[in-house]
Amino acid sequence: MSRFLQISNHTLFYYYLASNLTYLVMLIIALQTSAAHQRQLESIRFGWIKESPLAPPVTILAPAHNEEKSIRIAVRNLLDLDYPELEVIVINDGSADRTLEELREEFRLRRVRAVYIQQAASAPVRSLYRSDVDPRLLVIDKEPGGSKADAVNAGLNAATSPYVCVVDADSVLERDALLRIMVPVLADPKRVVGVGGIVRVLNGSEIEGGRLRRVRLPRKSIEVIQVVEYLRAFLIGREAWARGNMLMIISGAFGLFRTDLVRAIGGYRSRAIGEDFDLVVRLHRHLREKGVDYCIQFVPDPVCWTEVPSDLRSLARQRSRWQKGMLDVLLPNRDMLFRPRYGRIGCLALPYLWLFELLAPVIELGGIVTIALAAWFGVLSREFFLQFLIFGYAFATVISIGSVLQEELTYKRYSDWQDVVRLVSYCFFEHFPYRQLHMIWRLQGLWQYMRGDVVWKPMKRRGLQSASPG
């Protein structure tokens, strides 16, 4: 028994060591990539792109379900984005509230007859509406499809631009968001097939007229910890994976894709739990099998702000759903593992996701149990426990602090020094006790998926404040 516990504990130690060393390498790559991106921005004049007739048209797809409180401001903000040729398609996904009525009143919608070819599967469309206030706005009223993927597919069928940008109706895009996310496309239009934008935490910031007026940290601890999570995930994780052309997820809150390629793979998988992750993996598979030279990029500029859960129950549901979504994507694509035809995606990116993301809560739970048993039987080495704390806790904390410092050295969105101090201090609490709670939620997600519980459960949200009718 003691021999088994020693082997288990040392295995856990090396697992944490490998995980943290991997993140350290990603931090170094991300710092280099971010510095190169800043140098590139110095030579870009966004005003030229804004006025250029050569910029390819973009269609924004904004699925909305029961968004009556914020839909007016959200759509007005999308129409106010700086971009030369823009189309906005709002998909009312069977809302049971006044979402469609709010749109009708604000934008004077009129019903239109238009050719609608259902290339991507979605629930039946009831009606199409065009705005008399701004003809760039098209509203699709459809039957509820039960998923965001189903709603986006309906918008994809109606899109007329070579690029589609998928956004959440309750997110706030900065005015130059489209200009910035199109920079990689304009630099290499033949290879770049998708671009992910960075998503930041909106909670606590000041909003005026639906626009971000001042960036502040949230007051609730549960929200501040999520700020650290988002900074680490985007400024380190996605920045580094994109550098190696191995970006496996583009956030559903803000992502841009080539329309023809999304249609070529049948659009979003309507039953996908994590539709954003699923789409990118299927794009990688499709393009690798076709032998196409392509690239999926990431833009680290602060461009999209979204509301995160502010209570434990909603956060638990979100993280459980994310874990279910990961299993729902990795399981059917397991045949890509270690296959030469899928290159670095099959040999590096997917194995990492299996070992250090999907199975992480199972391994962590097993480690906690074996350490507790080792302490109970008196075989827990004090030297081992000290090493475990250093590499499993302190090292991970340093990585989180690194992501915060990268934010402050590069983008400086949190200008108040008190906010920066709070951010750094919360890095010490992220891995205990928050990490253990996160582990439990992810285990719940795996268990729910295995027993067939894939229902999308609602989360409590405050939403953007709706403007009064114009």
pLDDT at 213: 87
* Segment-wise mean pLDDT, segments of 10 residues, the chain, 470 residues: 85 89 94 89 83 90 92 92 96 94 96 89 95 97 92 96 94 92 93 96 86 89 95 94 96 96 95 94 98 96 89 95 96 97 97 97 92 87 80 85 89 87 91 90 96 77 48
Question: What is the dihedral angle through the alpha carbons of 149, 152, 154, 158, rounded to the nearest 10 degrees?
Answer: -150
The verdict on domain 22-56+162-347 having CATH code 3.90.550 is yes
CA 62 – CA 148 distance, rounded (Å): 10
Whole-prediction pTM:
0.93
Question: Concatenated DSSP letters for 423-456?
Answer: HHHHHHHIIIIIHHHHHHHHHHHHHHHHTT----
Reading phi first (left if > 0) and then psi (alpha if -120 to 50, else beta), residue 463 is in left
Count other C-beta atoms under 10 Å from residue 327's C-beta: 19
Token pair, residue 139, equals: 């509203």
- Specify burial of residue 1 (Cβ count, 10 A radius: 0-12, 13-18, 19+): exposed
Token pair, residue 150, equals: 């189903």
Number of H helices, E strands in the chain: 19, 12
